[in-house]
Structure 1
Amino acid sequence: MRMLHTMLRVGNLEASLKFYCDVLGMKLLRQKDYPGGKFTLAFVGYGDEANHTVLELTYNWDTDHYDIGSGYGHVALGVEDIYATCNGIKEMGGKVTREPGPMKHGSTVIAFVEDPDGYKIELIQLGTQGSAQKEVAEATA
């Protein structure tokens, strides 16, 4: 088995595509309207769906807002330079809700940003993650 995608319901597809593609640097992989169901699916990611896990943005034409709820946590993205990434996000009008720095009770350097619908996106400075991930990276290097 392999993880294929995570789906997020969005209230404004154009604003979401601008955020994920322009601000976070993902590519729009495919998009299709379903007039009979009154919804659009857009898949975005950093690589093709055959080899990468992606995000499915679901836009229901008659809904412009969703309550996120208490069960959702965040989507995590690894970045090479978390400080430059956060500065770039702010320069493009993105919202950084937690500035970069070590996580509580650990050494992993993280930051949080928020998409147009309020979904949290965690940024993780690559190379600072926990020892298990470092061991995997060292073993495959």
Structure 2
Amino acid sequence: MRLLHTMLRVGNLERSIEFYTKVLGMELLRQKDYPQGEFTLAFLGYGNEDENTVLELTYNWGVDSYDLGEGYGHIAIEVPDVYKAAEDVKNAGGKIIREAGPMNAGSTIIAFAEDPDGYQIEFIGADHVRT
């Protein structure tokens, strides 16, 4: 078994694709409309789907926002330098909601960004310790 993708429902597919490609540097891998179901799927990632876990964006035609609820947490992206990643997001017009620095209960350096639909993205350094 392997983890294939995580799906997020988005209110404006073009805006979300622009954020994930231009601000976070992902590649749009594929996109398809499903007229009978009135939705569009777009798959994005940092590498092909055969070898990487990717992000699936689902746009339900005519729905422009969602209540994120209390159960959702965040997507985590490993980066070489958390401080630089957060600065790069700001410079690209993205929103940082937690500046880079040590996490509350430890020394791991993290930062959080927010996508156009309010989903949180954590940046965590490539040198963090997996415990």
Q: Please confirm whether the aligned pair reaches a TM-score higher than 0.5, indicating the same fold.
A: yes
Amino acid at match of 1:74: H
Please state whether the residue corresponding to 2:21 is helix, strand or coil: helix
Match of 2:87 in 1: 87
Query: Any gaps of 5 or more consecutive residues in structure 1?
Result: 133-141
| C-alpha distance in 1 between matches for 2:77 and 2:70 | 21
Q: Per-residue deviation at 1:63?
A: 0.2
| C-alpha distance in 2 between matches for 1:18 and 1:90 | 15
Contact conserved, 1:27 with 1:44, CA < 8 A, in 2?
yes
Match of 1:48 in 2: 48
Match of 1:139 in 2: none
* 1:78 correspondence with 2:78: yes
Percent sequence identity is 63
**Residues 55-83 of structure 1 deviation map (CA, whole Å, 9 limit, x = unaligned):** 00000111000000000000000000111
**Residues 117-140 of structure 1 deviation map (CA, whole Å, 9 limit, x = unaligned):** 00000000110234x3xxxxxxxx
* 1:117 correspondence with 2:112: no
Match of 2:101 in 1: 101
**Residues 60-114 of structure 1 deviation map (CA, whole Å, 9 limit, x = unaligned):** 1110000000000000000001111111110111000000001011111100000
Q: TM-score, normalised by structure 1?
A: 0.90
- Any runs of at least 4 consecutive aligned residues in structure 1 with deviations exceeding 2 A, and if so which? none
| C-alpha distance in 1 between matches for 2:129 and 2:79 | 11
The answer to which of 93-102 and 79-88 deviates more is: 79-88
**Residues 2-50 of structure 1 deviation map (CA, whole Å, 9 limit, x = unaligned):** 0000000000001100110110000000000011111100000001000
| C-alpha distance in 2 between matches for 1:129 and 1:15 | 34
Match of 2:3 in 1: 3
| C-alpha distance in 2 between matches for 1:62 and 1:37 | 12
Q: Which of 1 and 2 has greater Rg?
A: 1
Contact conserved, 1:15 with 1:116, CA < 8 A, in 2?
yes
Q: Greater helix share, 1 or 2?
A: 1
Amino acid at match of 2:12: N
| C-alpha distance in 2 between matches for 1:83 and 1:111 | 8
Q: TM-score, normalised by structure 2?
A: 0.97
1:4-43 counterparts in 2 under 5 A?
4-43=4-43
* 1:63 correspondence with 2:63: yes
- State the aligned residue count: 131
